[in-house]
Amino acid sequence: MSKLSGIDEWLQRRLPELLAEHGVPGAAVAVSAGGEVVEHAAGVLSKATGVEATVDSVFQIGSITKVWTVTLLMQLADEGLLDVDAPVRRYLPEFTLADDGAAAAITVRQLMCHTAGFEGDIFTDTGRGDDCVEKYVATLGGVAQLFAPGELFSYNNAGYCVLGRIVEVLRGKPYDECMREHLFTPLGLTHAANGPYEAILFRAAVGHVQPGPDAEPVPAPVWALARSNAPAGSMLAMNPRSLLAFARMHVQGGRAADGTVVLSEGSVAAMRQRQVDVPCAGLMGDAWGLGWELFDWAGGPVIGHDGGTIGQSAFLRVVPGADVAVALLTNGGNPFGPYREIIPHVLRELAGVEVPALPVPPAEPRPVDASRYVGTYASEVSELTVSQDGDGRVWLDLTPRGLMAELGGQPERNELVHLHGDVFLPVQPQLGVHMPQVFVGDDGAGRARYVHSGRATRRV
């Protein structure tokens, strides 16, 4: 029996058990090795309708879309229409931010690898028309600069909307038309959708959210985030096999399964080159390429990306050297439960890759002087206050702002314990994950300038 056959049998048995263990309504997973694919689905697409999840069901892939957006841009680079090291304003003269000097300096590459430095969680809804991305970019004029372009990594959704607008300008057509013409069609995808108007043609998963901490997941009140954020990951949906067709194109030097050249070998390689290291960020990669997350795992290298929308979570991991890839798509509950078992098992068995365990708080945390960290840090979506009490315990109070507040986010308080260096972990996990909080930089007075959890939140 081949290893892939063993994975096939294991998934058929284990996937339904994992969904039940972690309260996930439905999921679909596909695994490819050397061009052969096995796929499985379990659970339901919506608890309201009870429609069964199948391998042809489409789930939102969220921010995995960002790798697709960079692929569209690298196609333009292949055609000589784009220089990734050029300033954004070469292609979008109207691009403005609160810091005009930064806006003039930011390059396409810096947007691709999240080092542009401006506030990134901007989810302005500019309507559903074909001009929504153009209108979105026009709203960024007041967005604050967190750090100088190129100085640091900070995950930036807004930057990817700017990248999507560059695609539109250079192609002369809306983002979703570019996606269909330049990726869906040459890849031969039959189960991929650019948004709800296309997803309705398939068995489409509905996201599920929890109305309270201990409540059962219920169908989300809306299907998708704003269309204006499509290049960052608000709309794209597909079945896992389609996601693997895209991933394998990258493994096969830019060629689709039928031999069609989708991307040059040079651009495929460029997207995997290390651009910036990421502070200890738990589920995130150790570094970023152009679009791709890069994971420094034993047996690798491994590339991938994750995605999250309203009640849907997606995971993609690829081992190019072994021609192995796995895609897991879910629609609610605790998606990290299935992720933490399926991804390590598949990569170990098929590629000899060991996925490291996520960090956990030490059993006996070392006391620490938190004076460097104490203070308030704020972004568009949250305010974080770090304090230390008389017993020496360190606390993180989170107050939702902006979209987080609108979506019903509640204030949270969590104790932080020291892990190493400037890295702390919350004692109470979220969905089983202790997301590292890393204090970086210096404000000139010996205090940390940012608290970093994938995004840099600046001291007020």
- Walking along the chain (460 residues) 10 residues at a time, the average pLDDT comes out as 90 98 98 96 98 98 98 99 98 98 98 98 96 98 97 97 98 98 98 97 97 89 96 98 98 98 98 94 90 97 97 98 98 97 98 95 94 96 95 96 78 95 94 94 96 95
Say what the pTM is. Answer: 0.97
Dihedral (C-alpha) 335, 455, 270, 164: value to the nearest 10 degrees? 90
pLDDT for 211: 87
Decide if 289 contacts 113 (C-beta within 8 A).
Answer: yes
Helix (H, G, I), strand (E, B) or coil at 68: helix
Q: Residue 254 and residue 44: Cα distance in Å, rounded?
A: 35
For this structure, is 63 an active site residue?
A: yes
Strand order of the β-sheet with 59-60 is: 59-60, 237-238, 192-193
Sequence-distant (≥ 6) Cβ neighbours of residue 32 within 8 angstroms = 244, 247, 248, 323, 324, 325, 326
Q: What are the pLDDT digits (tens) for 68-106? A: 999 999 999 999 999 999 999 999 999 999 999 999 999
Pairing of strands 276-277, 287-288: antiparallel
Say which of 32, 46, 57, 63 is annotated catalytic: 63
Q: Supply 416's token pair.
A: 């932080």
Q: Residue 374 and residue 446: Cα distance in Å, rounded?
A: 11
Q: Residue 302 and residue 284: Cα distance in Å, rounded?
A: 12
Decide if 187 contacts 246 (C-beta within 8 A).
Answer: yes
Q: What are the pLDDT digits (tens) for 405-431? A: 777 778 999 999 999 999 999 999 988
DSSP secondary structure letters along 185-254: HHHT-SSEESSHHHHTTS-B---EE-SSTTSPPEE-S-S---GGGGGGTSS-EE-HHHHHHHHHHHHTTT
How open is the CA angle 179-86-152, to the nearest 5 degrees?
90
Give the helix ranges, DSSP H, for 236-370.
240-251, 265-272, 336-351
pLDDT for 214: 81
Cis peptide before 301 (omega within 30 of 0): yes
pLDDT for 281: 64
pLDDT for 408: 73
pLDDT for 1: 54
Q: Residue 457 and residue 444: Cα distance in Å, rounded?
A: 17
Q: Residue 94 and residue 185: Cα distance in Å, rounded?
A: 32
Structural domains in the chain plus CATH codes: 1-358 (3.40.710.10), 375-459 (2.40.128.50)
pLDDT for 267: 98
Q: Check residue 330 and report its DSSP letter.
A: E
3-state secondary structure string, 397-430?
EEEECHHHHHCCCCCEEEEEEEEECCEEEECCCE
pLDDT for 192: 98
